Each structure stands twice: as C-alpha cells, then as structure tokens.
Copies of this chain bind each other. A is one copy, B any other.
Amino acid sequence: MIGVFDSGVGGLTVIKEIFKELPGYQIIYFGDTARLPYGTKGADFVKKYSLKISQWLLQRGAKVIVIACHTSSAWASESLKKQFAGIPIFEMINPGVKEAVKITKNKKIGIIGTPGTIKSGAWEKKLLELEPNLKIYSKSCPLFVPLVEEGWINKEITREIIEEYLEEFKNRGVDTLVLACTHYPILEKIIKKEIGPKIKIVNPARSLVKELKLFLKNNPKIVSQVKKGRNHQFFFSDQPYNLEKISHFCLNKKIKPIIKDPF
C-alpha cells in the first residue's frame, strides 16, 4: 500500500498522478482537514502532525510514504526520514527542484505557494544547492486555495486573481514556474493561459510520481501490486469541504471519505 498524506484535499492532485502512472497500487490517504491549512502554521506544529500521521499510515500497512503537502515537505521531510529510517519517503520538493533546473534555459525560476511554503525558503535553498546561478522569484498566493475549494476554476474572477498574482513573473522574464502547492495544479490550465507559452510549468506532483514510479520499478518487492479489487481508502480527520467538487476536478469521480481523527 502507498500511504499519502496532505493537510486536506489538495493531495488528491498527487493521487491523480498516481492513478495515472501507477494504476496497480493500493492507496491509503490521510487528509488532516481538522488542522488544515498547514500553510499558515508554524514549523513545529507541521512537524509534529506529519510524524503522527506517517506513524499512523505505517501502522495501517503503508510501505511507502508520500508527503503530498508542500508545507510538510518543506518542514517535516528530514525529521520523517530520520524517524522512519528504512521506509521510502517521497516528498514534493526534490523531484520538482530537479525538474525545474532541467527545464530552465535562462536560469530564472518563479515559485508560487502558500505563505508557509514560501516563508520556509525550502524551494530556493534546494534549487540553489543544485544550481547556484539561478535567479529565483517567490510569491505566496493565499487566495488560490480557497478559489479551488470554492470550485471557482473557470471564472473570470479567478483569471483576474491569477493575473494579479502572476503578472510580475512575466515582467521578470522567468521561463519556469513551479506550482509549489498541491491545490495549484487544479488551476494549471488557466495559469498556463495567463502566463503564456514562454513560461514552462513544473507540477511537483508529476515530478514526484515519476520518481516514485521508477523507484517501484527498481524495487518491486517493497509494495505489492493488486490486480483486482483495489480498495483505496481516503481518511480525513474532519469532514472535508467541497470534497465532491475537488475530487471531480482531480479524479473525475467521487470518492468515499472516511472521517476519523486518530490524534
């Protein structure tokens, strides 16, 4: 079983990529809706709950942990790797960093995310470790998550808010833009339209799942594939808001949430 967690429903954009690329695997998902959003929380808080959730997923049979939350990836992935040595742990930042560095030609990269992710500086740090000559422009876009949660995907207002947030990236001449929040891929099409064809988009969910796919191919014994009767489980620590809409946008189908707060 692949264990995936996020602060809420945004991680379903990662599930979307897993369903597409790794259809033979069973998923156990935990969305910490009781404590969302992580993006405005402190590092200690995010670390504490990321550890608790990972422990819980492992107890329930997960053999691999996917941190589908950017804030957790930024602040908790090192602690998790230490705490659960030997368990393969995948997070959103390293795969996206590698992809962004591979894609950029003019070495100007834009990053958008929640305030927590941007404030953490984790993306800048990792990008510069890999390629010290980058120029990086970061910006938090706190309205994107509620826009997605409201289901306002194709509205004119959404386009205007995207324009308001992203205009500066065009002016600064970035050629690569990283969507450093799990919800943002739901806005990918309209973001793409707004920023134009010259700026390439990195969706770290896709980058992560590419790495996960390669890992599972090279290590086929760690997680077994299930031929028939896959029983994906979607846990949420509190009733998720607008789940039906979001799961429709991400997965094109309904999912049956199990409401349970084990903490």
Contacts and interface: CB of A to CB of B under 8 A. Distances in A.
A168 to B, nearest CB: 16
A239 B75 CA distance: 15
Interface stretch (A40-48, A78-86, A174-182, A215-223): A40-48
A146 B142 contact: yes
B45 A40 contact: no
Contacts of A152: 143
A149 B142 CA distance: 9
Nearest to A8: B40
A224 to B, nearest CB: 35
A33 B41 CA distance: 8
Interface in A75-116: 115
A261 B139 CA distance: 28
Contacts of A136: none
Contacts of A41: 33-34, 238-239
Interface residues of A, number: 27
A177 B163 CA distance: 31
Contacts of A238: 40-42, 45
Contact of A150 (B42, B45, B143, B157): B143
Interface in A9-59: 33-36, 40-42, 45
A220 B101 CA distance: 67
Contacts of A45: 34, 238, 261
A147 interface: yes
Contact of A142 (B34, B35, B36, B150): B150
A241 B115 contact: yes
A22 to B, nearest CB: 30
A226 interface: no
A160 interface: yes
27 contacts: A33-B40, A34-B35, A34-B42, A34-B45, A35-B35, A36-B40, A40-B238, A40-B241, A41-B238, A42-B238, A42-B239, A42-B259, A45-B238, A115-B241, A142-B146, A142-B149, A142-B150, A142-B241, A143-B146, A143-B150, A145-B146, A155-B164, A157-B157, A157-B160, A157-B161, A157-B164, A160-B160
Given A42-B239, A45-B238, 20 more contacts: A33-B40, A34-B41, A34-B42, A36-B40, A40-B238, A40-B239, A40-B241, A41-B238, A42-B238, A45-B261, A115-B241, A143-B143, A143-B146, A143-B150, A143-B152, A145-B146, A146-B146, A155-B164, A157-B157, A160-B160
